[in-house]
Amino acid sequence: MKIDAAFLAKVKDAPVEAIIEIYDDMDARGRGDWSADDHKFMIEAYALLSGMLQESLLPDLDLPAEPVVTGDIAMDCSNIFGFYGHVAELCRRLEIKARLARLQRSMIATIGAGFAYEFSQGDLDRVQHLVNELRELISASDNFEEKHQRRLLMRLEKLQTELHKRMSDLDHLWGLVGDAGVALGKLGKDAKPIIDRVREITTITWRTQARSEELPSDAPIPQLEDQSDDTSSED
């Protein structure tokens, strides 16, 4: 594998999965018979991991001391491989716990007898599609600070993992309104593609909430207004 621009973009969205993928590639290269090419890859992989730790892309992990790079191929590769193995094992445990939590929420939402908001399959598919488009728009924008952009992308990723036909609350979906407000403040009129998609998501969310709570069919929908137009008209 190559740690290129495409892979680095993946790291921002799924850091835990990226670490596991890199370690699996290291393991496939063999242990103990390291080449100069292996050494180059190991150094790049270690630099990436160090950067991820410094930028807090990974959760707090109980890590051993980081390896010292000496320039000796066998020693460096062995030390980095061992360090990566420790980090990857912790990441695998986090991934298993996260998967279990998602499955538990899904099972409870499916079989739970208590009150829940229920999306139609078509609405659920549409919301997932819109969230994917939001991730693409935010990833492609140069107007967000990197850390803020990363936080938004991680929140969207988390939202997608929690989306089910039956949900006990819709707080995370309504939270997109606040994110859209931030985008409007950062991008101004350039935020329109983001605003449009959040508006459609909130419309679907309101329709689902109103139906689940047996509100009148003509109950007003909370509107996400683009205040940039109002501001410009006042001037």
Domain that holds residue 25: 5-97
Q: What are the tens digits of pLDDT across the range 54-112?
A: 887 887 778 888 888 999 999 999 999 999 999 999 888 888 887 887 777 677 666 66
C-alpha Rg value of the chain to the nearest Å: 22
Mark whether 61 and 126 lie in a shared domain.
Answer: no
Residue at a domain's end among 73, 97, 121: 97
Q: What whole-number distance in Å separates Cα of residue 229 and Cα of residue 184? A: 11
191 and 148 in a common domain: yes
Rounded Cα gap, residues 180 and 188, in angstroms: 11
- On whether both 167 and 88 belong to a single domain, the answer is no
pTM, rounded to two decimals = 0.50
pLDDT tens, residue by residue, 153-174: 888 888 888 888 778 778 888 8
Residues 134 and 206 in one domain: yes
**Same domain flag for 42 and 68:** yes
Which residue among 62, 97, 132 closes a domain?
A: 97
Provide the Cα torsion 116, 117, 122, 126; round to 10°. -120
Please tell me whether residues 21 and 87 are part of one structural domain.
Answer: yes
